[in-house]
Amino acid sequence: MATYESVIKITGAVGDLVFYNLNGKNVVRKKSGFNKTAFKKSPSYERVRHNSSEFGHCSKIGKVIRKSLDTYIKQSGDPLLYQKFAKVMTAIKDLDQVSERGKRTVENGLKTEEGRKLLREFQMGTINKVSDCIRIQDQVLCKNKECISDQTIIITIKLDSENYITESAEEIVDWNKEQKRSFKRYFSEDDLLLYFVVLKNEKSEITLMGFV
């Protein structure tokens, strides 16, 4: 990009050059080599198209999941969490072994144990993940003896990855000095369900949280 001075004010394209005004200065730059038609149809752009499509999918999925947990994520202390979460969504999508490139989904990645593990190991900002303390098995929360909390909240998230929407339900779990506790089933077993647990202390401060 370069500036130019001329008694004739030029705006638009002339040959391979583009003239325009930027912040009060006359600027000229060379045309980009990017071609929208070629991007959509040319075989040489096929891999780029696939990557672009899957990136958009992962970003949208990450956004709707984060939105359903917005109340808690705001307390994570990480302004870049959305970028990190999009990155883990991409890693989970890469585990989809049943779809062709360009059509791989986070949903299929989450159907693998590796995908679920990536989600469980994701840390929400400065707050340590809860999966080191609590796990889930057959609609039952199980906690370690060392796991102490004054309040335990479990959020069940139903993810519709085709339409990019979620439904969620919250429940406060009363342990009653037990190490295992069942919780309600809000959605069908056939739905794609995610479980997010939040532990709070007596001051209602979050001590641990994350997917289980």
What pLDDT digit, counting tens, does each position of 73-91 carry? 999 989 999 999 999 999 9
Statement: residue 155 has pLDDT above 80 = yes
Residue in this structure with the two tokens 């840390």, named with its chain if needed: 123
The token pair at 198 is 């939040």
- Compute the radius of gyration of the chain from its Cα atoms: 24
Confidence of residue 153 (pLDDT cuts 50, 70, 90): very high
Going from N- to C-terminal start, the domains of the chain cover: 1-33, 36-211
Residue in this structure with the two tokens 């139903």, named with its chain if needed: 158
pLDDT of res. 44:
56
Statement: residue 147 has pLDDT above 80 = yes
pLDDT of res. 29:
75
pTM value is 0.78
- Reference 196, options 177, 180, 211, 181; nearest CA is 211
pLDDT of res. 154:
97
Give the C-alpha separation, 209 to 199, whole Å: 6
What pLDDT digit, counting tens, does each position of 90-126 carry? 999 999 999 999 999 999 999 999 999 999 999 999 9
Statement: residue 7 has pLDDT above 60 = no
Confidence of residue 131 (pLDDT cuts 50, 70, 90): very high
Statement: residue 6 has pLDDT above 70 = no
Statement: residue 24 has pLDDT above 80 = no
Statement: residue 30 has pLDDT above 80 = no
- Reference 69, options 6, 148, 145, 154; nearest CA is 154
Give the C-alpha separation, 85 to 121, whole Å: 11
pLDDT mean over 57-64: 96
